Structure 1
Amino acid sequence: MEQAHLTAVLGFPLFAALSDEARGRLQAEGFVQSQPVDAILFEQGQGAQFLHVILSGSVALVGSAAATEASVDVPADAQSRVVVDREAIIEIFGAGDVVTIAAVLLNLPYMMSARTIAPSRIAYLPAPLIRSFLDNEASFAKAVAMKLAKHWRLLSRQLKDQKLRSGTQRLGGYLLSLSDGRMNGAATIDLPVDRRTLASWLGMSAENLSRSLAQLKSIGVHVSGRHTQIDDIARVRSFCLEDDLR
């Protein structure tokens, strides 16, 4: 247990107004672990045992589904099929975020798996403890409502983008989100994730991501590895149909 880091959790907005008794229980019952890249925090379908609080690093929520496709190794009339697993990154969370609080509060299985995509330090808070805070700590219940509202708005924004913007526009919008809120001028940024992870997060294939990068180059977006140069933010904003509603 890393008690100093567990104490730091109490400074997060979700836990800052807990009563002294609740703060003591959190420190007594929670624990912190350091995780390497690609560590699995939990699996899709597993019962929600902990609320995971990210102290440092990054965690991807990964959804998976089984698909079937015809096997090429058998005659077509045999109608043999093989199961192929598909997965996609649904969201990426960073330091200060909590992971899948809804499953913990509802005492339901996780809808997605969680995997670290950078070396991370994670606080594990037992699910029954969190549910007891919801029942007995009014300030915590209010903070949870605000957290869930923000998550709902984030997911609504992603759904809107998926339906109304092309993959290239979504990619450009993501790059703009890394430019510190600037509305015009140039920007130099570094991608926090690799291209394979970025493609999955944006709902694109690796090939489509490459084509989108080529399209963005024509409007002054130059990507080399993780380094990105945007010549004219206003031009990219216009191309991506940015409306600033977040």
Structure 2
Amino acid sequence: MKLNVREKEILLRSYFLSELPSATALKIVEHVTVASHEARDPIFKQGEKADYFYTVLTGFVRVFRLSKDGREADIGIYGPGETFAEGVMFNGGTHRFCAQTAESVTMARYEVDKLKQFASQDPAIGIALMASLSRNLDQALECVADDRLHTAPQRVANFILQNCPENASTARFRLPFQKSLLAGKLGLAPEALSRAFSALKSAGVSVHGRIIEIGDVNALRNF
């Protein structure tokens, strides 16, 4: 599959390519391939040799670690314009985690060997990859800190506040993905997420399917 105009725009605005000069970004885009997957399709498994890393164009991808006994720990949820698995460019070319689609997804695929060739000719590409990796690392560290510093309701409150318009007194938005994905993203079991939403009712939060309504944003900030 080839990129359409909208997909190309999303790709060029991605954190990785937006760090590069326009001519360099367009050169890379010429060698990108597009893959589509249905919901819950595996993209790669930990330990596999990596042929590609990816930028999401539509939908959401779940990245997680799988234990020996089959338990799963979510690492991140990636949506349109976000790049993931770029670490394979530097770690010997092996996936350290698993990736699975959360819903129907379209992704741009960067061929690892081709990007290594480009990066050897243009150091700016390596620097842009490191910037993308650093951004993902910062987000992962924020999740670790949030997990250790806040209770489950506070973690959910922080997520909700991130989706509220600045200076709004009330707000309403639709979760971009299923609540089961939100639970994993926040390091919670689904039942713990439900209890957290119940606890936030006192701060004016109500949940209707994937619709979140906040009657008093300031009360939620002070929760």
Please indicate the TM-score interval, normalised by the length of the shorter structure.
0.7 to 0.9
How far 1:200 sits from its partner (Å)? Answer: 1.9
Q: Which is higher, the Rg of structure 1 or of structure 2?
A: 1
Aligned counterpart, 1:88? 73
Q: Which amino acid aligns with 2:107?
A: I
The number of aligned residues is 220
How far 1:223 sits from its partner (Å)? Answer: 0.7
Aligned counterpart, 1:128? 113
Question: Deviation per CA, 1:132-186, whole angstroms, max 9, x where unpaired?
Answer: 2322213222322322221221111111111110111101111111113x24401
Aligned counterpart, 2:4? 4
Give the secondary structure class of the aligned counterpart of 1:14: helix
Is the 2:15–2:83 Cα contact (8 Å) retained in structure 1? no
Aligned counterpart, 1:146? 131
Write the mapping of 1:108-119 to structure 2, written as runs, cut at 5 A: 108-119=93-104
Q: Which runs of 5+ in 2 are unaligned?
A: none
Distance in 1, Cα, partners of 2:110 & 2:180 = 31
Give the secondary structure class of the aligned counterpart of 1:218: helix
Write the mapping of 1:181-220 to structure 2, written as runs, cut at 5 A: 182-220=166-204
Aligned counterpart, 1:14? 16
Is the 1:26–1:129 Cα contact (8 Å) retained in structure 2? no
Q: Which runs of 5+ in 1 are unaligned?
A: 68-84, 240-246
Instruction: Return the TM-score normalized by structure 2.
Output: 0.88
| Structure 2 residue 44 is the aligned partner of structure 1 residue 59 | no
Aligned counterpart, 1:76? none
**What percent of counterpart residues are identical?**
25
- After superposing the two structures, state which structure 1 stretch, 209-218 or 140-149, moved more: 140-149
Instruction: Return the TM-score normalized by structure 1.
Output: 0.80
C-alpha RMSD over aligned residues: 2.3
Instruction: Name the CA shift for 1:194/1:65 in 2 (closer, same or farther; >3 Å).
Output: same
Give the secondary structure class of the aligned counterpart of 2:54: strand
Aligned counterpart, 2:211? 227
Distance in 1, Cα, partners of 2:174 & 2:47 = 34
